[in-house]
Amino acid sequence: MRGRALLMFRLVASSLRRRPAEVVLTVVAIAAATTTLMLGLALHDVTAHPYQTTLALTSGPDVAAMPFNGASQSSIAQLDALEHGPGVVSHVGPFPVSYATMETKGSKVLAIVEGRGMSPSAIDQPYVTEGTWVRPGGVVIERSFAQELGLSPGDHVTLGGRSLRVDGIAVTAAAAGYPNTVDDMSIDNGGGAWNQATGLVWATQATARSFATPSAPLNYILELKLSNPASASAFANAYFNPNTLDVWSWQNVSQTDARWAKPFQRGLLIASSLLDLLAIASLVVIVGGRLAERTRRVGLLKAVGATPRLVAGVLLLEYLTLALVGAAVGLAAGYFAAPLVANPGAGLIGSVGAASLSWADVGFVVALAVALAVLAAWIPSIRAAHTSTTSALADSARVPKRRPLLIAAAAHLPVPLLLGLRLAARRPRRMLLTLVSVAITTTTIVAVLSVRTHEGLAPSVSPGQFSIPYNPNTVNTDAILLVITVVLVLLAVVNALVITWATSVDSRKPLGIARALGATTQQLSGGLSTALLIPAVPGAIAGIPLGLLFVTAASHGSRATPPSALWLAGTCLGVMAAIGVLSAIPARIEARRAAVDVLESDIT
């Protein structure tokens, strides 16, 4: 038994040593697939846990309410009615709320100023992460807002024309963090200036009241605890009045905080599916490219007494080794990249990142890698079991397809096109695979470009009136896109290399013959490039609408912003140029070898 295991180990080790390039490409393909899958899984419920932590830490309200049009008698009466609503066990407020422009460190923004007592509140006591709670003459800035403005305790801000000291930085579960605060604390001062560049500030009640003006009158916020927090949404919906009263639940705030992640979580999962397809396509090409060699090796092993089971075991072990190494690399890459893409933002306490990767996720990723390995070993194993030893030893690659019409048509073309068309025609399945791979690559590039284009659009705010700090959502998006782009580029290069390598290996014999008959290096390299470009061109063209469709699907149809026609054309041409350049390399390398070496090497 030990001898057999040792034999298997030696066979696997020698096989892997003999094919370093194939080993590296296989590992990279599997690692890239598992990395993106890991990241997709890491973004599940990306902000759910931090929100819950913040809710508990701040005794966050189950429901909060604010009149839309300031503190009129009727709206105050509405808030009174809420205090006695069904299931309400306690409440705080109403706290005064006013609106003011805030200037600091070269930025001019809008602030919602919530008036609070200096003693802790039973409900929604913001958790101070730096400095102290509100004191006369000072303000406490919501953490994500403070982070965008670069504020810390001790700094000064000019709020409504008055210079105030920053006493502390705090987080709350009652409203979403910057720049989404305004989504929950819906306000309308009549001027239409409220926009996403609005953050939350706490001050003493007297200070908050002092900012009220006729054009931006004082408002109030009431916060409630319910006997059944799960019913908060239903409660809020029951009391919400689009004309007079805004009522929102903790679920609304949680969803707002998580909102930035959703399209990208969805997008990343779809992107990872695309990249997985790309990885599978690479693996199919790698495995298919060496199928004949594999079968001969099987014949050799059987000739010296190996059973089909042992042969299948060796093949499986070989691919399993590669799969596990690839999965380990992918898991490590995903583990370290996850916090980058899954940052919950400064508006919440706690972190997700690597912690959100469960053992089930890891198991799923490893299972995917193993499935790829089994798939890769399956076909040679089946052939091993069903092929006689002598047939396996003599096995050559499948006889290429004969396409009489294409062959005849190619005779009328210049030599590079003649060679390219005939090469393409002899392996239609590989050409289809190339087409699909290039289409997926282009799809993903277009998708990334689309998201970048969308995120690059400026927020809708009156120019010159307010200066907008950078948008943290974009920062997170950028991180995700960066990871996708890196993985995509890596996998696209691997894929292009694999396709080029497989096609050049397969084309070595006909190109060797053509060389012996007098074809020049330029004609041969032109032929190989043409053979790859024939499927690459429709693949790249098809990838453009598919990429746009992908972004639309990933963003619920609301966030697709197509890149300019120039970018799309550039992408298409870039992909084709990359394939063309890469395919010229093998022909150049072959040209350095003697014609007879190319012709008489073991090529089938």
Residue ranges in contact with other proteins by CB under 8 A? 399-403, 407, 411-412, 415, 418, 422, 425-426, 509-510, 512-523, 591, 594-597, 599-600
What is the nearest approach in angstroms of other proteins to the Cβ of residue 419? 9
Choice between 428 and 574, CB closer to other proteins: 428
What is the nearest approach in angstroms of other proteins to the Cβ of residue 409? 10
Query: If you write DSSP's letter for every residue of 330-368 in order, what string do you get?
Result: HHHHHHHHHHHH----TTSSS--GGGG--HHHHHHHHHH
Choice between 339 and 400, CB closer to other proteins: 400
Choice between 289 and 547, CB closer to other proteins: 289
Choice between 458 and 517, CB closer to other proteins: 517
Choice between 344 and 526, CB closer to other proteins: 526
Both tokens of 53, joined, read 């932590």
What is the nearest approach in angstroms of other proteins to the Cβ of residue 375? 28
Both tokens of 223, joined, read 């916060």
Choice between 80 and 597, CB closer to other proteins: 597
Choice between 454 and 515, CB closer to other proteins: 515
Q: How far apart are CA 364 and CA 586, in angstroms?
A: 37
Both tokens of 127, joined, read 């958790």
What is the nearest approach in angstroms of other proteins to the Cβ of residue 407? 6
- Do 270 and 80 form a contact (C-beta atoms < 8 A)? no
What is the nearest approach in angstroms of other proteins to the Cβ of residue 290? 19
Q: What is the dihedral of CA 103, 108, 113, 116, to 10 degrees?
A: -40
Q: How far apart are CA 172 and CA 175, in angstroms?
A: 7
* Matching residue, tokens 């996720």: 361
Q: From residue 550, give the alpha-carbon distance in Å to each of 128, 146, 355, 477.
A: 42, 36, 29, 17
- Do 143 and 125 form a contact (C-beta atoms < 8 A)? no
* DSSP β-ladder status, 138-142 and 162-171: parallel
Choice between 186 and 396, CB closer to other proteins: 396
216, 218, 215, 236: which is closest to 226 by C-alpha? 236
Q: How far apart are CA 143 and CA 172, in angstroms?
A: 9
Task: Give the other-Cβ count within 10 Å of 490's Cβ.
Answer: 16
Q: Is the dihedral of CA 336, 342, 348, 351 positive or negative?
A: negative
Each as own residue / partner, the long-range contacts of residues 337-342 (CB below 8 Å, 24 or more positions apart, any chain) are 337/35, 337/38, 337/39, 337/483, 338/38, 338/39, 338/42, 340/479, 340/483, 341/39, 341/42, 341/43, 341/264, 341/268, 341/476, 341/479, 341/480, 341/483, 342/42, 342/43, 342/46, 342/261
What is the nearest approach in angstroms of other proteins to the Cβ of residue 416? 11
Query: If you write DSSP's letter for every residue of 173-238 in order, what string do you get?
Result: SSSPPTTSHHHHS----SSS---SSEEEEEEEHHHHHHT--SSS--EEEEEEEESSGGGHHHHHHH
What is the nearest approach in angstroms of other proteins to the Cβ of residue 394? 13
As to burial, measured by CB atoms within 10 angstroms (0-12 exposed, 13-18 middle, 19+ buried), residue 48 is middle
Task: Give the other-Cβ count within 10 Å of 413's Cβ.
Answer: 14
Choice between 44 and 403, CB closer to other proteins: 403
What is the nearest approach in angstroms of other proteins to the Cβ of residue 356? 53
Choice between 219 and 507, CB closer to other proteins: 507
What is the nearest approach in angstroms of other proteins to the Cβ of residue 28? 32
- Do 99 and 255 form a contact (C-beta atoms < 8 A)? no
Choice between 206 and 596, CB closer to other proteins: 596
Choice between 373 and 519, CB closer to other proteins: 519
The residues, any chain, with a CB within 8 Å of residue 171's CB and separated by 6 or more, are 54, 58, 126, 127, 129, 142, 143, 177, 346, 347, 348, 349
Choice between 382 and 394, CB closer to other proteins: 394
What is the nearest approach in angstroms of other proteins to the Cβ of residue 500? 21
What is the nearest approach in angstroms of other proteins to the Cβ of residue 436? 23
What is the nearest approach in angstroms of other proteins to the Cβ of residue 504? 16
What is the nearest approach in angstroms of other proteins to the Cβ of residue 535? 18
Q: Could you give the 3-state DSSP secondary structure of residue 126? A: coil
What is the nearest approach in angstroms of other proteins to the Cβ of residue 592? 9
Choice between 407 and 486, CB closer to other proteins: 407
